[in-house]
Amino acid sequence: MDTTDTTLLEFRGVNKAYPTRDGEVVAVEDLDLIVRDGEFLTIVGPSGCGKSTVLNMLAGLENPSSGSILLNGRSVSENRMKIGYVMQSDNLYPWRTLVQNVEFPLEIRGVPAKKRREIAIDYLRKVKLDGFEDKYPYELSGGMKQRGNIVRALSFSPDLLIMDEPFGPLDAQTRLLLQVQLLELWREEKKTVIFITHDLPEAIALGDRVMVMSARPGRAKSILDVKIPRPRDIAHIHEHENYRELLSVLGDQLAEEMQVASAIKMEA
Amino acid sequence: MKAKKSPMKSTAASVKPKRFRSKRDVLICQIALSVILIGAWQFASGTLIDPFWISRPSDIIVYIGNWIFAGDFVFHFGFTMAATFIGFITGAVSGFFLGLLLGRAEFWAKVLDPFLVAINGIPRVALAPLFVVWFGIGLLPKIVLVFTLVFFVIFYNTYSGVKSVDRNYIDLAWVMGADDSVLFRKVILPAAMPYIFLGIKLSIPYALIGAIIGEFVASSAGLGWKIQVETSLYNTTGTMGGLVILMVIVMLMNWALERLEQKILSWRPQQRSAGADIA
């Protein structure tokens, strides 16, 4: 099968090392990965395994030490405007109202004021934030802010949405709600998503594939398909045979890496 | 539903709920306090202390009234305000731009740091006579003195404002496609705004102080000059009258600034401005 026409993103032998006082630390090693157009890929791994480094390189905030990252066959530096990034911490601009935040990327692109307001309001409605358009971030709850962050990253129709533990700081209920909304958005928008989490159930519930990253240096330890049909009912996802299977297999792999990671920490 | 007092609740009920105090209550107390203080002054003057030393409020009011409506108040007031505002605007604008520039150019910030610290360390009172030698006794030396005070306050505040901008804000804007100019105008500047505004608030009283010091050292006009003349004539009422006017000016400026702040920084949760008024 020729994969080239469905390949959106490709990591080719990507390495990333940081110089530190005690010599080089290799954060990412020999990462090869192909992400298909429209795919929802989740990445799990022990903390400090270079997951965020992978996203930062994708976003163009850091450069790989060697290897290349290609989006639509071109290097990411040429793709700066085509990626939406949602970070773990809330990063809505506090001096802008919610709707002004969502408009921000459109404003940069010179979309006329009326048009961009329309688009922003439309997106806010999709994540049930209508009525909060003119609130400042400090007036919103954590879940609302994170939904704002997500639609801001989507408002300019990026080719790829990358998310770094976006639901990490949220409570369980809010988390579930946002997972459901994210899947709905994803189905409507048909965007490719790369989603990092430390929560294995979340990774399985959301992803088409789950990639486990090894402890430092980070590499792709394994990538498994999630065979749970869509649309998924996240609240009852644990009833699926495949969910339990994956949880067990991936859980073992993750536990292994966690041990390695804690051993690294002990050394340090 | 009536809340019955259960034993559990009695402890909570014994703690009195905080009485809500409105803005009006605050104002009433402030007025009462002023009346008491001024009344005590008025009473003490002539009974406990010779009015030669402390004058008395009623005399001061009469003095100010005469000065404003029948004297040269407008001239002196205009002179001092001109020195204050020209010095403030030039100092604030240049401090602001240098703060922005050095906030983004770490190398030059490091190079210039000891120079700035050294110059800022000079007591301005010591500089004032030198400015007279250089610039004469007109408006210019006062403007320069105000400039040297305001410049550093605004510079340091802008600089720390730019330095303190959350790295993620900048990174995200960059990923979303912002170029340097957008980054500056739409991320760094608004993020640094609370700091810059604090600088403005702090430096306005400094500006006035600078102008007054300049007038004290050598002048032929201005509120500071007038105060000094009255003092040299042992006219306590005149001195106090001048001081009261300075007080009123600072209070009005502060009030205007707070209004402006509420407008510009409305995105911040309401909070008390800590210590900014004491300068």
Residue type at B171 in one-letter notation: D
Residue in the structure block whose two tokens are 């990965």: A33
B112 closest CA partner among B149, B152, B150: B152
Environment class of A204 (CB within 10 Å of its CB; exposed 0-12, middle 13-18, buried 19+): buried
Helices and strands, number each (H, E), in chain A: 7, 10
B166 touches chain A (CB under 8 A): yes
Residue type at B5 in one-letter notation: K
Mean pLDDT value across chain A: 86
- Asked if B182 and A108 come within 8 Å (Cβ–Cβ), the reply is yes
A26 membership: H or E segment, kind and range: strand A23-36
| Mean local confidence (pLDDT), A164-182 | 87
Q: Which among B169, B182, B266 is the nearest to A93, CB-wise?
A: B169
Hey, what are A69's tokens?
Answer: 């990252």
Percent of chain A with pLDDT over 70: 96
pLDDT of res. B20: 64
pLDDT of res. A142: 86
Contact A13, A170 (CB under 8 A): no
B269 touches chain A (CB under 8 A): yes
pLDDT of res. A127: 87
| Mean local confidence (pLDDT), A53-60 | 87
E strands within A81-139?
Answer: 83-86
Using 50, 70 and 90 to split pLDDT, how confident is the model at A64? confident
| Mean local confidence (pLDDT), A118-140 | 90
B173 touches chain A (CB under 8 A): yes
B178 touches chain A (CB under 8 A): yes
Q: Which residues of A touch B (CB under 8 A)?
A: 59-61, 80-81, 83-85, 87, 89, 91, 93-97, 104-105, 107-109, 136-138, 153, 156
pLDDT of res. A267: 65
Q: Please give, rounded to a whole number of angstroms, the shortest distance from the CA of A41 to a CA of chain B.
A: 20
Residue B47 DSSP label = T
pLDDT digits (tens, 9 = 90+) for B51-77: 888 888 988 999 988 888 888 889 999
Q: Please give, rounded to a whole number of angstroms, the shortest distance from the CA of A107 to a CA of chain B.
A: 10
Q: Which among A87, A95, A156 is the nearest to B168, CB-wise?
A: A87
CA gap A151, A157 in Å, rounded: 10
Has residue A76 got a pLDDT over 80? Answer: no
CA gap A64, B233 in Å, rounded: 78
Residues of chain A neighbouring B172 (CB-CB closer than 8 A): 85, 87, 91
B215 closest CA partner among B87, B23, B30, B109: B87
CATH architecture of B56-264: Orthogonal Bundle (1.10)
Query: What is the pTM (predicted TM-score) of this model?
Result: 0.78
pLDDT of res. A5: 60
- Asked if A87 and B191 come within 8 Å (Cβ–Cβ), the reply is no
Contact A201, A247 (CB under 8 A): yes
pLDDT of res. B111: 94
Which portions of chain B are predicted below pLDDT 50? 1-13, 272-279
Residues of chain A neighbouring B166 (CB-CB closer than 8 A): 91
pLDDT of res. B19: 62
Has residue A2 got a pLDDT over 60? Answer: no
pLDDT digits (tens, 9 = 90+) for A175-207: 888 899 889 889 888 889 999 998 888 999 999
In degrees and rounded to multiples of 5, residue A41 shows phi and psi of -105, 130
pLDDT digits (tens, 9 = 90+) for B76-125: 999 999 999 999 999 999 999 999 999 988 899 999 999 999 999 988 88
CATH code assigned to A7-267: 3.40.50.300
| Residue pairs between chains A and B whose CB atoms are closer than 8 Å | 59
Contact A29, A217 (CB under 8 A): yes
- ipTM, interface predicted TM-score of the complex: 0.85
Q: Which among A59, A93, A97 is the nearest to B175, CB-wise?
A: A59
User: Which residues, in sequence order, are bridge partners of residue A31?
Assistant: A14
Mutation target for A interface from B165, B174, B176: give the one with most A CBs within 10 A: B176
| Mean local confidence (pLDDT), A74-90 | 81
Chain B residue at shortest CA distance from A78: B177
Has residue A4 got a pLDDT over 80? Answer: no
Which range, A32-41, A78-87, A227-236, is most confident? Answer: A32-41
In degrees and rounded to multiples of 5, residue A207 shows phi and psi of -85, 155
**A54-57: long-range pairs with CB below 8 Å, 24+:** A54/A14, A54/A28, A54/A196, A54/A213, A54/A218, A55/A85, A55/A162, A55/A164, A55/A194, A55/A196, A57/A14, A57/A16, A57/A28
Domain boundaries defined on chain A: 7-267
